[in-house]
Structure 1
Amino acid sequence: MIRIEKTLYTLLILSFFSQLTLAQDTITPKLIWTVNKVDLGTVLEEQGPQIAEFEFAHTQDSIFFIEKVWTDCGCTTVDYTKDTLVVGESGTLRVSFDPSSGAGYFSRMIVVKGNLMGVQDTLYIEGTALPRASDPEATYKTRKGDLGFRLSKVNVGEVFNNEPKLKQVEVYNFGSNILMKDSLEFIGPEYIQVSQLTEAILPNDRGLLQILYDGALKNDLGFFEDQVSINWKDSTTFIQLEVMADVFEYYAPFAKDNLNIVPQLVIDPKERDLRTIKSTQIQVENVVLSNRGKQVLEIKKVQGNCDCLKLEIPKLTLDPGESIELKVVFDPKGRKGIDQRNIYIFSNDPLNPVQLFLLKSRVE
């Protein structure tokens, strides 16, 4: 009985290692996609179906062809290379999205299955679909000249200095002039560019403008609000547009082993409650900034959310283990009730490049 059990055990072990060896010798064929996600941006319903194109290369020795494609929505249709491919050849997959299928943000999934074992890849398209407005006067409440906007300002959102950020803006032409794409002109800072996406914006119709915000050209960090002037050469339409953005420095991902090596900013305290204060009494607080890392910490910028704050810092570089005090002076004059002041500290701490100190109070 013992001998039989040992024999069975030996056979199981041999079977396991033979399967493991076979698995190691088998190379799973894969496709190399140029991208696996396409952002269609803002899409107007009247623009009709939008096309996202994906390119792929076949890098394995086996002959390959796409066997089947699934989508998660009837709003998408797919056309793809049906030829048989050998190593080194490439193909395309085109996804058509119907923006009339729904309103708002969309994210659609496409699953591609090949004839070879292990080839089942997932692709995505995303964007924002905007349906036609039944009541333009109520929808585009902000008027700038002949143009109507949904909001009074354009918020680009978070911008990192490693690549420009694009923002599409929907506009409605209440005027009588046709606004042609190639006649748009604008004046603004060099880090903001404005273009028209739709070829022409007809009277009583809408179109898309595009704002490009370049964080590297801005060469600063924090929250900013800029103004650009826009006009069309062949019309009398002239507007001023306010553009808001939060600019951050980009830090590439790093290995977990380097977590204790890189600069580390520690703020103490992170919050201070002054409780009840008088509007005539200036408040002074000291915040300790420390470098817990093993590399030099650089304070890039200290920014408050109000002109009522005065921020003083003795130096902008901290050696490993060094601490300094940030002096925060708050003048509550003209304020009343519950108040919160935000102080942002930008540094080269790659894990937490922007940290916040809160100053709370109730002003009498």
Structure 2
Amino acid sequence: MRKYIFLSLAAALFSLGMQAQPRISFSETQHDFGQIMWRNPAQTIFRVRNTGNQPLEIKAVEPDCGCTLVSWDQSSIAPGAEGKIIAKYDAELLGHFYKGIAVYTNIGENPYYINLVGHVVIPSEGKAENFPVHLGDKWLSTENVEFDDVRRGDRPERTVEVFNAGKKPMTLGLMHLPQYLDADIQPSVLHPGRKAKIKLTLKSDAIMNMGLTQASVYLSTYTGERINRNNEINVSVTLLPDNNYSEPTLKYAPIAHLDTTSVDLGSLGTKKRLRTQLCLTNEGKTPLVVSTLQVYNAGISVSLDRRQIKPGEKAKMKIIVNNSTLQFKGRRRILLITNDPKTPKLAIDVNVKK
């Protein structure tokens, strides 16, 4: 009988021990940040409720990587009360992430797990539409820089933006910079997910000839990088003559008129070349002189049957586009510089499909 009473009492005490303990409940066991910006840390709070009848102690909170920082209430959580665990993700890596956090308590040896999920994206300044030229991990706002309608003495500026879409820093530099260009790159060390600005300043006094001057500069991302088509930026300058003309001169000046300033030649396909013809008319009162006739693209050839056109007369312009034009970067244009004081520059866009 005594043995039976002893066993019954032990069972009752054991049952009470099983019932008298803390229990843990989380406001959520997985938090979804959705989209967050690269290198903009995101933080959330997990609410912890003690649903048991004994104090709950959070002994340790251990994230599965150094990318997550945590803090929590160090004091015991009374039955029915709440504590909190703060979790902060550093967002240093692009892409989707799933991070686990182990929560150790006085309930037992095994931890409870809470999780962080989300998607780290490039900031809006790094969206592909802002950088249409993709040269590997270098994304550029343009690979064709034009200084149009420049007069001697001008110092115009152009900006090329560069975005680092890779995972390693880039040390930016410009190779083969001509003497008539100054370049300023800020910042010169471009970290992943960031953009830099290359400011190009033209020193027009250093250009010798009127009309079109072209050069290629090469964007390097590390010391010792070689030049190639994948880091080439085209630079073109159109230097115009001075436009200081008196009223009598303007009254009797030549006037240049083209049939069109845009030519659509269709598709090259398997053809070796495409041809077309335009007319340049002098609608003024004195002879029109074409001093410069140039092309922006080496795959285009152009000729005029005469360079001096009397008032009321026309000159025939023949344009031939070779299939090699598709190998060259930049716009396909033809440039004419004339003695028309009001319109000294005429440009013809030549449109060709593959």
Q: Which has the larger radius of gyration?
A: 2
TM bin, normalised by shorter chain, reads 0.3 to 0.5
**TM-score of the superposed pair, with normalisation by structure 1:** 0.42
Q: Normalised by the size of structure 2, how large is the TM-score?
A: 0.43
